[in-house]
Structure 1
Amino acid sequence: MKKKLTLAVMGFAIALTLGTGSAFADSKMDQVIDSAKGTSYVSGGTSLSGFDCSGFTMYVFNKLGIKLPHQSGSQFSMGKSVSRNEMRPGDLVFFNTSGRGVSHVGIFVGEGKFAHASSSRGVIISSLNESYYAKRYIGAKRIMSTDAYQSVAVDSPDYDDVD
């Protein structure tokens, strides 16, 4: 009985962990973001040695072949505004954390979440619904064309399943 219970619990635990990864688990963008997760916050940082928020977004997009300036306000002036219900992975999300306009940026990853360089926790994934971010949300911008989005932010096919 104990063995069956252990197997049932393990099976349930495995079932719960399936699909808990990123909203775009096998995309090129996901791989770049995953490689940067946990990197420390460094003011002015633009590399895996340390990032600030716009340095992080600049780094990710640069790895995907898209150039961004190193300043959240400058990034906010780019692209096309998109409403919250139209956002797709890869859209930039902007916040007023200083009380003086655009001061923080992250990358929407789907399912209401975004990747960013937090000044206190480094590169993490957070929810747009967390009260801190929800109160400071300014808007989202689409930087990538549909073609770029399809090639870098959509799951790659799983070739292991092809016979």
Structure 2
Amino acid sequence: MLANQIILTGLKYLGTPYVFDAPPHQTKVFDCSSFTQYIFGVYGISLPRNSRQQYTMGIPIPFNKIRKGDLLFFTTKTRKDRQLPSKIGHVGVFLGSGHMLHTYREGKKVMVSELNSYWKLAFAGAKRVI
């Protein structure tokens, strides 16, 4: 399944440092959207460079229907009162079992996170691009 391949590729980069506005198409550092752009691009799925642009791609999926490989989009404190897609400030990849693969914030790295109450409150939408 393509979603599993994309996820396995992403997992190879666990621990890769986060840098805001990281250059695209390289693997030394990532920000959230350069990470998703890279791991999907390995399999010929072209995503735009930033999370707001990525939100315009694919098929909208309700939270209770998300599956492995879906893109999860989140808002931030500074963007939460805006309209979509400008309220989007973060993107990750759903792994299944209530977890996502992503990177965010200076000092953090590519990681797996639980979709806990923090992320559920910030959730702004999901898209299927596979």
Bin of the TM-score, shorter chain as denominator length:
0.7 to 0.9
Specify the code of the residue in structure 2 equivalent to 1:108: F
Question: 2:82 — aligned with what?
Answer: none
| Structure with greater Cα Rg | 1
Separation (CA, whole Å) in 1 of partners of 2:18 and 2:36: 13
Question: 2:93 — aligned with what?
Answer: 107
Q: Deviations over 1:53-106 (max 9, x none)?
A: 100000110111100001100000111110112111111000001432101000
Poorly superposed stretches of 4+, deviation over 3 Å: none
Normalized per residue, the structure richer in helix is 1
Specify the code of the residue in structure 2 equivalent to 1:113: H
Question: 2:111 — aligned with what?
Answer: 124
Under a length normalisation based on structure 2, what TM-score does the superposition of the two structures give? 0.84
Any residues of structure 2 matched to 1:51-62 within 5 Å, and which? 51-62=30-41
8 Å Cα contact 2:32-2:104 kept in structure 1: yes
Question: 2:5 — aligned with what?
Answer: 28
8 Å Cα contact 2:7-2:69 kept in structure 1: no
Give the paired residue count: 119
Between the two structures, name the one with larger relative contact order (CA 8 Å, sep ≥ 6): 2
Q: CA deviation at 1:28?
A: 1.6
Under a length normalisation based on structure 1, what TM-score does the superposition of the two structures give? 0.68
Specify the code of the residue in structure 1 equivalent to 2:15: G
Alpha-carbon RMSD: 1.7
* Percentage of matched positions with identical amino acids: 39
Q: CA deviation at 1:50?
A: 0.3
In structure 1, list runs of 5 or more residues that go unmatched.
1-23, 145-163
Separation (CA, whole Å) in 1 of partners of 2:19 and 2:78: 21
Specify the code of the residue in structure 2 equivalent to 1:126: S
Indicate yes or no: 2:25 matched with 1:38.
Answer: no
Any residues of structure 2 matched to 1:20-99 within 5 Å, and which? 27-45=4-22, 46=24, 47-99=26-78
